[in-house]
Amino acid sequence: MVQQSIDKALSTFSTGENFHAQHYLGCHRTADGYVFRVWAPHAKQVALISDKTQWRSKPIPMTLNHLGVWEVYLLAGQVATGDYYKYLVTRSTGQMIEKLDPYAIRFGERPDTAAQIYDISPKDWQDKAWLTKRRQWDMFTSPVSIYEVHASSWQRHDDGRLYTFSDLAKTLIPYVKSLGFTHIEFMPLMTHPLGMSWGYQLTGYFALEHTYGTPEAFQDFVEAAHLAGIGVMIDWVPGHFSQNDDALAYYDGTPTYEYQDNNKARNVGWQALNFDLSKPQVQSFLISSLKFWIEFYHLDGVRIDAVSNTLYLDYDQGEWTPNSDGSNINHDGVAFFKKLTSVIKLSHPDVMLSAEEATSQTKITGMVEMGGLGFDFKWNMGWMNDVLKFYQMDPLYRGQYFNLLTFSFMYMMDEHFILPFSHDEVVHGKKSLMHKMWGDRKQQFSGLRNLLTYQMCHPGKKLLFMGQEFGQFLEWKYDWQLEWETSDELNDQMQYFTSNLAHVYRDFPQLFELDHDYAGFEVIDADNTAQSVLSFIRKDASDNQLICVFNMAPIERHQFTIGVPLAGTYTEVLNTEMSEFGGSWQAHNADQETQKAQWKTYEQTLSFTLPALGAVIWQVLAEETDNQTEAVSSKSHDTSDYYVTDAQWAVLAPYFPVGARSKYEKRDLVSAVLFIKQTGRAWTKLPDRFPPYKTVYAFYKRATKLGIWQRAMSDYETLKTDN
């Protein structure tokens, strides 16, 4: 780095405008050695100590510049790649304390807090196609289903050793792909002092936790996820940090990264320290950290932890100091988040920023120019709390508390929401999602299937914590793995259901395209408290509709009738009580014709059997003469985007063999599914020449259930890319 660049980096760091401060501070290779820099403006002296110098035996003094940064240049013989080092800070009182390097990208194995001189070669990334596609996607009108993971407790080796990211690339990625989720979100991966923890008390904001493997291994994991069609997100903690003496706390002997005011600095509830977000150097540090993770690891999204704690001065326990206007608003936090989101969105508009914000404060996802904070999404904590309270309730009383299910209808478009069933809800005596449900074990699984279906059908993006997809009974244990070894048939069926549900969500634009618009949602009946049945419609931008009906009572209801806006034949897309999911039903409801009759504001009705504690999703079928069917049957595939080519079918045909009784070309059906999934058109009724399938969806559902479709499409996408 030439002197002019160094001067600019130092200047912008000091004004809060250096968003790649890790290129200046920390340890860096020079032409003939290394340079070390650390910000400690009020230290009496700072020295570099390392294993090469026998630590405190031979400290190497550093020089202070006029903006509070200490530095020292060393020749290659004095230190080398792989050496460990710390800073020995002498405070104004004369006390000497060893401190870690805040900008280090690699630390030793816990409990060692020494940073490591670590050189990383630029990676030859192979995910260009993914990033190109991501730049074109609209996160608000696309399906987003997030599988939340704690990396050290998802799965472990038989001898108890933690999985590294090399291990997770071979196990977690194919697992999530089979489930059908669109993204993996990791709880904090940065260096933290306690292994048996959630990881939110950070010490190294640029360093991957040592136990998870090397930075290169995490890069490879993200690349593998992208190649598998899965996005990767992380949790990031800009509000508070570990109060350990050897980390950021009172770094130079005075409040350096934290507030001067002790009431603002101390985080009593989390036994941590709050960042002073008014300091420009702290802003440079934090924004640089986030940009580093996004850019170095090609991340697709970041969830900002504990936003409420940063926005409100009285959110924590204990004493608090009002701001200058006497209110509880932390103006420093508000300004910081506006700056953070503006900087990230300017350079990475396609990276999703979500806020864990627990209050009813609005404009969290509003544009900064309009007074908002600029986040893309906000966790809907109110919805989550209300819904879980309802599903834990004895069905005898649910009718009296239907507002817990429907209150969110009043505000669900005020922000762009994520509907979270996160790690916070399955610890500290709260019980797992399955264990929260009412009834005996079979009924609890029915309740869980109903709950997850309600989440998928309610407007908002989706998040589910690991283990809940198969109905783990015990609470999450962050010091061990999930209950893989004790799962039984009901757990396997629950896992299979979750996968089916996730694929239904991705297959139907009605469930995600208008999450942000009341045009995509219509209540059929939210007042049937006597029977505890809720029904509503989800719509896409083309006004295709899904009818979603939820029975919150343990009573099967025959000839259950609701009004619907469209006349025609309806087919059952999903029934949560099918036997393959662990329910008691052996067959789906037959296709149902609407009857002309007035029902509230609707002029036709739909009648069917509603399973006890079950949920069903219906879709009206298009007519056989619909031009979609004609288009699918067309053989002019030379110019078609959806009809598979001869070369592609040569590879795909073995996946779809023609049965002895079949007199039709399954190539037509495969092409039909591709057409419908790409265009978002309705699933069509089929002519009699396609037995045993009455609809295109019936064929697709069967192929998906057997895993045929997923395997075939993996080859299809490869062929399509090659072509």
**Tokens in use for 723?**
């072509």
- For 196, list phi and psi in degrees, rounded to 5: -85, 70
Which of the following is catalytic: 167, 223, 305, 540? 305
Q: Out of 101, 209, 276, 356, pick the active-site residue.
A: 356
DSSP output for 633-678: H---TTS-SSSPPHHHHHHHGGGSPPPTT--S-HHHHHHHHHHHHH
- Characterise 185 by phi-psi region: left (phi > 0), alpha (psi -120 to 50), beta (else): beta
**H-helix or E-strand spanning residue 90:** strand 84-90
In angstroms, rounded to a whole number, what is the distance separating the alpha carbons of residues 188 and 185?
9
Q: Which residue is associated with the tokens 């959806």?
A: 642
DSSP states along 596-638: EEEETTEEEEEEEEE-TT-EEEEEEPBPTT-HHHHHHH---TT
Distance CA 585, CA 185 (A): 35
Please give the Cα distance from 627 to 700 (Å, whole number): 20
User: Does the active-site annotation cover 630?
Assistant: no
Residues in contact with 478: Cβ distance below 8 Å, sequence separation at least 6, in sequence order: 150, 152, 153, 196, 197, 198, 427
Chain CA centroid to CA 76, Å: 43
Residue environment code for 159-178, b if the CB has 16+ CB neighbours within 10 A, otherwise e: eeebbbbbbbbeebbebbbe
Residues near 133 by beta carbon (within 8 Å), at least 6 away in sequence: none
Single out the residue of 265, 400, 269 nearest to residue 321, CA to CA.
Answer: 265
Euclidean distance between CA atoms 455 and 425, whole angstroms: 15
Tokens at residue 484, please? Answer: 């893989």
Compute how many other C-beta atoms are within 10 angstroms of the C-beta atom of residue 389.
13
CA 630 to mean position of chain CA atoms:
40
Which of 581, 367, 362, 565 lies closest to 490 in space, CA to CA?
A: 581
Among 234, 237, 343, 201, smallest CA distance to 284 is for 343
What is d(CA 81, CA 443) in angstroms, rounded to the nearest whole number? 59
Proportion of the chain in helix, strand, coil states, percent, rounded to 5: 35, 25, 45
Question: Is 641 annotated as catalytic?
Answer: no
Alpha-carbon gap, residue 357 to 372, rounded angstroms: 13
Q: Are the CB atoms for 500 and 705 separated by under 8 Å?
A: yes
- Cα separation, 508 vs 504, in Å, equals 6
Q: Determine the Cα–Cα distance for residues 396 and 393; give it in Å rounded to an integer.
A: 8
In the block, residue with structure tokens 């807090």: 113
C-alpha 563/C-alpha 519 separation (Å) is 18
Beta-strand pair 521-528/461-465: unpaired
Active-site annotation, residues = 305, 356
